[in-house]
Amino acid sequence: MIITVTLNAAIDKSLSVPNFRLGRRHRTVEQRTMAGGKGVNIARALKALGQPVIATGMAGGATGTRIVDELTAESILNDFVRIREESRTNTSVLDPTDGQQTEINERGPSVSEHEVELFRDKLLYLARGAAIVVFAGSIPRGVDPDIYATLIRELQRTGVTIMIDADGDPLHQSVRAEPDVVSPNVLEAEELVGHEFNDDAERSLAVREIVALGAREAIMTLPDGCFAQVLIDGQPQLRRARVELREPVAKRGSGDAFLAGYVAARYSDSSPDECLRFGVACGAESTGRLGAGLIDPREVRRLAGEVELSAIELPAEVS
């Protein structure tokens, strides 16, 4: 079983509004409402790929009830801690005439210490039956930024494989807790290591720097694929995976689809290279759809054949 953790679960509302202008009144031509938050999106994509997954996290109020109902309607197994305050609704407006996407994310609920404690107990219980736990996304107000790091340290005793996709302080702290895999995008990685990357040599070194901070393996995604430092027969190796850039219908959630693909392949005992290839194919496929975590597995398999994978050799003095 795979567990995805979404501490700040949401209802994601995507509106299609032609000729969207600030200060005007508009009508939507298409609208879609789905349960969201990074871990939820990853769970949706894992389910589409036929992998066993339970989405957990915290959800509250009428919006929280809706999140759970939507997941259940999609047959995505879920087990959330119910919290007192109302979960977020995130609204994104896509203008089909120019492809621009505007996002408004609510601040979301504040969570009490007792609610965090209930969640911790639930996670440790669920993890007993899991091979992989994925932490993804922002943390709600009132929750200590070291929450992921604390949970990672507790889970490590169970031997479960731990992956994390977060940013800012929670990412900083969790990397030091030595998760198995961390998968930031370029901006998040730059913030994590504290400097910008100007060329491919620096991007290759970035994943090495992230591993030096504590993660066992690091994957840095970017729109045309990823850079990764993976373990092959216990030895660290650098990889570059590349896919042809597409004109995205909606880019949001492509990192979530990437991670779902990577996790699905890893859960199926694929080789490290195949895991990266499948992740990149899922990310690319998801950009063709309005709604995060939506992928077509047949199209993913076709795209996976087009992903180019290469080993990166670093000069001796920097390796």
Ligand X SMILES: Nc1ncnc2c1ncn2[C@@H]1O[C@H](COP(=O)(O)OP(=O)(O)OP(=O)(O)O)[C@@H](O)[C@H]1O
Q: Rule CB under 5 A: which residues touch Mg ion?
A: 185, 255
**6 binds ligand X per the rule CB under 6 A:** no
Site for ligand X in 182-211 (CB under 6 A): 185
Q: What torsion, rounded to 10 degrees, do the Cα atoms 244, 296, 29, 38 define? A: -80
Q: How far is the CB of 81 from Mg ion (least distance, A)?
A: 24
Q: Which of 45, 254, 265, 273 binds ligand X (CB under 6 A)?
A: 254
Strands 30-36 and 88-94: unpaired
245 contributes a contact to ligand X by CB under 6 A = yes
Asked if 67 contacts 9 with a C-beta cutoff of 8 angstroms, the reply is: yes
Q: Does 287 bind ligand X (CB under 6 A)?
A: yes
Nearer to ligand X, 187 or 311 (CB): 187
Q: Which of 60, 64, 170, 225 binds ligand X (CB under 6 A)?
A: 225
Residue 136's beta-bridge partner residues? Answer: 165
Instruction: Let me know: does 242 contact 307? Beta carbons within 8 Å.
Output: yes
Which of 80, 258, 262, 278 forms a contact with ligand X (CB under 6 A)? 258
Choose one: 76-84, 194-202, 210-218, 219-227; the region binding ligand X (CB under 6 A).
219-227
CA angle 220, 49, 16 (to 5 degrees): 75
Q: Could you tell me which of 267, 206, 212 has the C-alpha nearest to residue 53?
A: 267
Among 283, 290, 293, 294, binds ligand X (CB under 6 A): 283
Of 97, 95, 98, 57, which is closest to residue 79 (Cα–Cα)?
A: 57
Which residues contact ligand X (rule: CB under 6 A)?
185, 221-223, 225-226, 243, 245-246, 248, 251-256, 258, 280, 283-284, 287
